[in-house]
Each structure stands twice: as C-alpha cells, then as structure tokens.
Amino acid sequence: MATPSLHHVRLCRMDLPDHACPWGLKALRLLEEHHIPFEDHPLHSTEEVDAFKAAQGVATTPQVFAGAERIGGYTDLAVRLGTRPESAEFSYVPVIAVFATAALIDLALAGGISGFMGIAICLLAMLKLMDVAAFAASFRKYDLLTQRWGAWGRLYPGVELLVGLGILLQPEIPAAARLIGATALLLGAMGMVSVGKAVFIDKLALNCACVGGNAKVPLGVVSFSENLMMALMGLAMLLVG
C-alpha cells in the first residue's frame, strides 16, 4: 500500500537535557522510514513544553502537523501512515520485586504491617535516589507540585526515605510520630490527586516514577494504591500518636 502523501510536516516533541520523549523519537523514526520530509521542532525545556500544550490545547507530546492540520501523536501518525503502532513498553516486574523483597525482609524481622510499609517505602526511595535527575524528569510529567515547583522532584526521594525510616523507627515521642504521620499522609494524598488527574481525567499513558525515572511501570492503579497505602499509614500514625 502506498504511503499517504503528507506535505509541510512538522514534528513537535519533548527533548529535555536529561530526558527525550520515547514517543517523539518513535514518531521521528516513523517519518524517516516513510521518507517523508519534515521539520523537527524539539522542545528543550519544561516551560516550552507547557507553553506548547497550552497553545495547542493538547495534553501530551509529541504532536505532528501537516500544514494547518494537526494529525496528533505517534499512534495517530502511525494509523495515518497505515502502520501498526508500537505498543507501550510496560512492566510490573520492578514493583513486584520491591514489594516481594519488602515482604520477605519484614517476615524475617517480624515487623508487621508497619514494618512492611517502612521497608517498602525505603526501597522505593532508594531506587529514586539512584538517578534523581531521571526521576525528577519523569515525576514532573504528572506530579502537580513538581510542575509548579521543579525542586520538589529532586527533594522528594530524600523526604520519602525519611518517612520510611520514621515508620520503621516508630518514635515514642508523640510530636515526632505526628510529624512523620502528617508527612506520610500529605505525600500520599498529593500523590493520589496527581495520579488520579493524570490517569483518570487527562487519560495520559505515562510511566510511573515510583520505582525510578527509567522504569517501565505504567502509571495507574498500582501507583494510586501505593500512595493510598502511604496516606493510610500516615493517618494511622496520627491517630495512634
């Protein structure tokens, strides 16, 4: 089947210093494979990305244009060219590994539910701390606070680690227990709002940054449940304290 004729094609895609959008690269390769001349318009900062989305009234990048017509993202382009789009590369293995390891450690130490949650949160924080820049770039795509205050994406892993350690220590000082509980409740609640908006309202297909910025875990029910558990743990500490 002949390739549909497209003229004056522009590809607008995210290409940050520490993160290039994989779907933008897929769209770029698809245009090259079909020998379609195009203008590449990489967006080199989150401010450029946000301004572009607002101007075009879209929630995601990349976006492909043919003259004045907006074709859409990678999948739309693939369908237009009569090509089967590649599926998202998702895997739940990292999440399973984290929570299974936390459960085994907790079983060996007989730490109970709070011990399991503390260990799991510490392991998740460790994975984020392995590449803070990659985590922050991935987190910013859906976390509402990070989108307004970029430094929060880099601070979050350390705060999460402190919360996990606090849950494990179960401090006897009421003020310390309440601080840890309030922080866990706040983190969990903010996470649920951000994930809920991205997945259920904006319908975004993103990777979750919960196990690090380079993971292929899909943002969705697992991410929402993780934040819900943290919020419930924090609430329990506040009530007990």
Per-residue pLDDT tens for 48-98?
Answer: 888 998 898 887 889 999 998 999 988 889 888 888 877 656 778 888 999
Alpha carbon 115 to its chain's center: 26
**158-172 exposure pattern, b = at least 16 Cβ within 10 A, e = fewer:** eebbbbbebbbebee
133, amino acid identity? A
Domains defined for the chain, CATH in brackets: 9-80 (3.40.30.10), 93-240 (no CATH)
Residue 145: how many CB atoms within 10 A of its CB? 16
- The answer for residues whose C-beta is within 8 angstroms of residue 20's C-beta and 6 or more apart is 14
- Rounded Cα distance, 44 and 212, in Å: 22
Question: What's the pLDDT score for residue 92?
Answer: 83
pLDDT confidence of residue 202: 72
Q: What is the pLDDT of residue 89?
A: 64
DSSP letters of 130-169? TTHHHHHHHHTTT-HHHHH-THHHHHHHHHHHHHHHHHHH
**Cα angle, residue 6 at apex, residues 3 and 7 outer, rounded to 5°:** 145
Q: Which residue numbers in the chain have pLDDT < 70? A: 1-4, 18-20, 87-89, 203-205, 213, 241
- Distance from the Cα of residue 166 to its chain's centroid: 25
**Residue 1, pLDDT score:** 45
Residue type, 171: P
pTM score, whole prediction: 0.70
